[in-house]
Structure 1
Amino acid sequence: MSRPPTWTPPPCAHATALGTRRGRFAALDARPAGRPQGTALLVPGFTGSKEDFIALLEPLTRAGYRVVAVDGRGQYETDGPDTEEAYAQGELAADILAQAEALGAGGSGSRGGNAGKGDGPLHLLGHSFGGHLARAAVLLDRTPFRSLTLLSSGPAEVAPAQREKLKLLRDALTTMSMEDVWEAMRAMDAPTEETPTDGADLRRRWLRTHPAQLLAAGRQLCAEPDRVAELAAVQPLPKLVMSGERDDTWPVAWLDAMAVRLAARRTVIAGAQHSPNTDRPAETAKALADFWDEAY
């Protein structure tokens, strides 16, 4: 579970609802002082939310980018159905394409990679499970996007130890309330340096996330096929594989090999683990802006 260093957006950002043809999605929209040279759509991972990207917003807007971080359907402040079928990967990928369209990016058959008027090309980033969704969206239609970043997101299913943890969580979610599962997870967690406020924010996010979304996402993480060859064939599309120097969800060696297969840029953020966006946000933002600048 990502632990945002802060839950308060910087002055450059505001909370909003991104209206699309597939519904409304809670979002944080951050804009630079001048005309944006591009827009980034950020997709959070399993048990995550748009707040996982808060620490990136200010440095990325200083670099000249508009940044829109979203809660997917059933995540935190975005409503969602109660059936697992509604959270199939194809449905969530279609949501991302609708979000891109709402930001002004062209769809299939149009000149792709352009966000709304004055907001420049659209760059797509997915963290962890969000990377699998971003990949699926690009495989459906790459034309809205100027680039794709897979942040701590691997080539296929998660590592065996993580699959065991996800199975335990799925079993708990089918027999226990969200409140009871939260208390059980906290009891099993190693001690952290979270403040009481951090814990309250994490708890609120957990309780507002739909169990069906968590169940469906957990199943997908345990069964995702290797689609790297398909993604490598999507051209032209600059790709970045970024991670921390340690990762228990997908071993770093797996991410190294995936980057080679994709002919992608590979960036490792020193001192970070599975969430460079919260572990080392300044370094992560700089690497992202450098990549987007070159993909312009």
Structure 2
Amino acid sequence: MSLKFTVGDLTIHRIIEQETTFLPALELLPGLTPEVLAENRAWMQKAGALDDKDVLMLCFQSYVVKTPHHTILIDSCIGNDKPRPQRPKWNMKTDDTYMRGLAAAGFSVEDIDYVMCTHLHVDHVGWNTRLDNGRWIPTFPKARYVFDKTEFDYWTETHAKTPVPPFGDSVLPVVEAKQAEIVRSDYAIGDHTRILPTPGHTPGHVAFSFGRAKDDAVFSGDLMHSPLQTRYPELSVKFDVDQAQAAKTRRGFLERYCDTNTLCCTAHFPSPSVGKIRRAGSGFTCEAI
């Protein structure tokens, strides 16, 4: 299983925290019918994206991108010591899987220059912070943490009405530590890193494209959770705030990168998680490389 990819002058590392069963396909994808699931069951199982009980298999991971100038971590996964009672596999975790993965890729927490979050859901912000003597502090002490302004404002407003634990323990402590950059979509890091607005899953969800003057790699976050959504871009997950917008954004994204050499680095597709978008009938595939 490949955890390292090279494209252009970028080196990309996958840091896997969990690769496991998540939810039944028919539950996560409300628009999916048993008939369409049956038609796609064989290839989905072969790809490791579906188990024998029709439960989707998802990978939960970060990417570390080494550019000529910076070391950038994308989406900080689940985290340890976080109270997540709705998700037993994530609740009050204490394992060293993530930190061992980071070390195996050759990085320490001090090496990260930027942490960039595609959005602020629980499994994309967890390692933003760690517990230190009873308080949450930034895990990556030298990093600037990049949050989209639309996304940050949405969760600030939501959290003010009803506390959102991941926002409280994994985002606000970064702001309090003055390590946050609240940015708009014209934000860039050097000549290599750009923001691509991809709303729908959340109001301020973004993808990140990397490469000098062209998109050598793009990180799609929760624009899609399963390879089934490349075949059928209209299938949105039940967690999408605006399912119609998410479907439109997803098809537009897949059209944009279809039949190009851009590496599409997905957040949750099963290993190898990285591929190139190719057309397949009225939909697409993400062909593993």
Q: Same fold (TM over 0.5)?
A: no
Q: Which has the higher strand share?
A: 2
Bigger relative CO (Cα 8 Å, ≥ 6 apart): 1
Q: Which has the higher helix share?
A: 1
TM-score for the superposition, normalised by structure 1 = 0.28
